[in-house]
Structure 1
Amino acid sequence: MSQATGRGRVVGDYLVGRQIGSGSFSVVWHARHRVHGTEVAMKEIATGRLNKKLQESLMSEIFILKRINHPHIIRLHDIIEVPGKLHLILEYCKGGDLSMYIQRHGCVPEETAKHFMKQLGIDVWKILSFAAAGLQVLRDNNLIHRDLKPQNLLLCTDDDNAALKIADFGFARSLQPRGLAETLCGSPLYMAPEIMQLQKYDAKADLWSVGAILFQLVTGKTPFTGSNQIQLLQNIVKATELHFPPDAKILSADCKDLCQKLLRRNPVERLTFEEFFNHPFLSQTQPDQVFR
C-alpha cells in the first residue's frame, strides 16, 4: 500500500526519500525500512504504460532476480504492488553506477580496471555457464544479459576497491547451449555488432560488452562511436584494428591484447569465457577460487 505521511510517502514498510535514478517507465528512489532503517533502492514501475513486450521483460527480470543470491548480483528484497504501479525493493549501492564512477575519475589505473573486470567477468561467466536457479549447476540452460553497460553496473562504495553489482536484467533471457538469440536489444555503444546487424547471436555478445567496458575504463572513451546507430555500426565494420587513444601508451601489452580479443567483430574469433579467465591480464584469480 502506498500512502503519504507527515514525513513523506510510504510504500509498504518503506519510507520513500530522494530520487536516485529514472528510466522510460520507471523511477528509482532511495528508501528506508520504517522499522529496521535498512537503506534500499525502490524501483517504481508504471505498469499501465508497459506494452506486452515490456511486461515480458519486467517479468523476466523478476523471475531471474528471485532466483539469484550472489554477492555481485543486485539483490531483490521484496515486491510491492499497488494499482498501476509495481515496486521492486532492491539492494542499495551508495557508490552509484560505473558510468558515474568513470565520469568522476576519468580513465582508471589498470589495477582498478582489473579489479572491476574480475568481478564483472567472473559473475557473467558464472551466470552464463549455469542456470541461475538457486545457483544450482544445471548445465542444460544458460543466461545471457544482453545489456551490459556501465549504467547497469552498481558500486557498493565510491573507491577503487568497491564491490561491483550487476543490475537490470530486463533484457536477460535463457539461452539453450549452442542456442542463438535474435532479438535486437541493448545499448548501441556496448552492443555487439552481430546484434546490431540483426544476426543470430549467443552468449559471446556479452563478452563484446565486457570488452567495451574494459576499454572505456582504461582509456576514458568508448571503443567505437557514431552520430547514430547506423554510423556506429559502419565504423565498427570498416575498422581493421582496434585503435587506442594516443595517451594509451602507458597501457600494458596484456591489457591491450585483452581489449583487442574481446572486441573482435566476428564472434567466432572472439575470446571464449574460458579463454577470458585464462588471459594473462586476469589469470591471477580463477573462477574456482572465487566460487567455493
Structure 2
Amino acid sequence: EADAGQRRGVKGLPDSQRFSSDSVDIVPHVDPGAGGAFYVIRKTEDVNKHYEILEELGHGQFGTVYAGRDRRTSKRVAVKSMSKRKAASDPHFCKDIRTEVEIMYHLGGHKNIVQLYGVYEDEHAIHLVMELCEGGDWFERLLENGTYSERQAASAARSVLEALQYCHSLGVVHRDLKPENLLLAHSGPGAQLKLADFGLSAMVPRAALQDPHKRAMDSAGLLHDSVGSPYYVAPEVLMARSYGKEVDVWSLGAVLFIALGGYPPFDGANEQAILKTVVYDPLSFADPTWDGISKGAKDILTRMLTKDPKRRATIPELLAHPWLLPTPMSNAESSGAGLAGGGRVPDAVVMRLQQFSRLHKFKKQARKVLSQFLPEEEVVGLL
C-alpha cells in the first residue's frame, strides 16, 4: 500500500487506450434495487461465496490485504479489500480503483507480474482477488540466509526489467517501484520474482513511451502528477516536468543501489530533505563499502540513476549490459568482463541492509499509527 502522503491522483486511461473485459464492467453506477448504493465498478456476488477469508497479511491507508482460499479449488489467494468510505474523503478514490483494475487485467499473463483473478464489490467495499506471493519481498529474501551475491541481485534485476519492459510495451508506467512491491511467489528455491501493487500506475498512449531519444518534445500523453516514494522517485517527477517510462528505470536503480550498498543513493533527515538530494545531489560511490562491489555493478547503477531522463539507460540497453547477462562465469572472468560475480557482497552491506529494512518498517508502522490521529499533511515530514 502507498504510505500517507505518497498517493496522489492517478491518470485514467485515454478513451483510445481503454479495453473491455468479460470479467469486469468498468462503468460505475447506482443500483436502485440496493437502496441507491453506489458501485465503483459493479455489484457482484459476495466474495465470501467463492473465497474463504483467512488471516490479515497487511494493512495500509487504502485497504487491508488478507490471505484467502478458493472454496472450489482450495488454492490460496490474496484478497485486497478497500472500504468505499474512502470515496467520501478522497476525490481520486473511484478513479484510482478503476484504473488499478483495468491495468491489472491488461497486464495479465506475465510470469513476473502478480495476477488479478477477480473483482468483487458489495455496498461497503471492493475486493481484488489476486495471486498470493508467500515468499516475502525481495529484500527479505536477500537477508534470509544472512548473505547474498551480486549474481543474485543481477538475476532479480533482470526479472524486474523484463516485467517493466512488458508493462511499457502495453502503455503502462508503474510509478511506485520499491522493495515491498517486489514479491517472491513462494519461499522455496527458484521462486519467481513478481512486480506488485499497481495502485499508482498509469496508462499513456504508446507513442509517448517511445525511446526518449526519438520522442518528440511535445508532452501530450505524458504524465504530470507527483506520485511515488521518496527514496525511489525520479527527479523529473519532483521538478514539475512531464515524464514517462524512464521513471521506472530510476526507481529500480535506487532499489538495486540499496541492495548492493546497504543504504539509499539519496538520503536525508526527513522526506523533504530526501527529495532535495534526489534532485540536486550527485550519485556517489565514495563510501568504502563500494570497494567490494564490481565495476560492472557501479556502471549499471550510474546508467540507471542518471538524472536526465533523456540520457538515462533504456531497458533494452540495460538488458544487454554485461553485468546482467545470465551466463555464469568465474569471479575472475566476471570482474574482467563487468559481469556480476557469484561471490558474496561485503558483510558490511548485509548489516546495513538489515538496519535499513528494520528502520523502514518502523517508520512505516509509526506513520500508519500517526495517520489515525493526525491530518495527512502533518504526518508527512515527521518521519
> Under a length normalisation based on structure 1, what TM-score does the superposition of the two structures give?
0.85
Residues 191-250 of structure 1 deviation map (CA, whole Å, 9 limit, x = unaligned): 001112222111101100010111112222221112233211222344233236422322
Question: Aligned runs of 1:229-244 on 2, under 5 Å?
Answer: 229-243=271-285
Distance 1:185 1:15, change over 3 A: same
Give the number of the structure whose alpha-carbon radius of gyration is greater: 2
Residues 137-176 of structure 1 deviation map (CA, whole Å, 9 limit, x = unaligned): xxxxx22111111111111123674311111111111123
Unaligned runs of 5+ in 1: 3-9, 132-141, 286-292
CA contact (8 A) 2:283 2:305 kept: no
| Bigger relative contact order (CA 8 A; separation at least 6) | 2
- Range with greater deviation from structure 2 (11-20 or 203-212): 11-20
Choose from 218, 230, 249 the match for 1:207: 249
Aligned counterpart, 1:276:
318
How many residues align? The count is: 267
CA contact (8 A) 1:107 1:220 kept: no
1:14 pairs with 2:14 = no
Structure that is richer in strand per residue: 1
Question: Aligned runs of 1:117-132 on 2, under 5 Å?
Answer: 117-128=157-168, 130-131=169-170
Aligned counterpart, 1:85:
125
Distance 1:158 1:180, change over 3 A: same
Using the alignment, how far apart are the partners of 2:188 and 2:238 within structure 1? 34
1:172 pairs with 2:201 = yes
CA RMSD of aligned residues (A): 2.0
Identity of aligned residues (%): 30
Residues 179-199 of structure 1 deviation map (CA, whole Å, 9 limit, x = unaligned): 421111111111001112222
Which amino acid in 2 is paired with 1:61?
A: E
CA contact (8 A) 2:155 2:326 kept: no
Using the alignment, how far apart are the partners of 1:248 and 1:276 within structure 2? 21
CA contact (8 A) 1:45 1:87 kept: yes
Using the alignment, how far apart are the partners of 2:147 and 2:266 within structure 1? 16
Residues 56-89 of structure 1 deviation map (CA, whole Å, 9 limit, x = unaligned): 1111110011122211111111112121101111
Look up the SS of the partner of 1:191 in the other structure. Answer: coil
Choose from 71, 78, 95 the match for 2:111: 71
1:219 pairs with 2:292 = no
> Under a length normalisation based on structure 2, what TM-score does the superposition of the two structures give?
0.65
- Range with greater deviation from structure 2 (50-59 or 117-126): 50-59
Query: Cα distance, 1:269 vs. partner?
Result: 1.9
Using the alignment, how far apart are the partners of 1:190 and 1:240 within structure 2? 15
1:143 pairs with 2:143 = no
1:154 pairs with 2:179 = no
Using the alignment, how far apart are the partners of 1:108 and 1:40 within structure 2? 29
Aligned counterpart, 1:113:
153
Query: Cα distance, 1:23 vs. partner?
Result: 1.5
1:59 pairs with 2:98 = yes
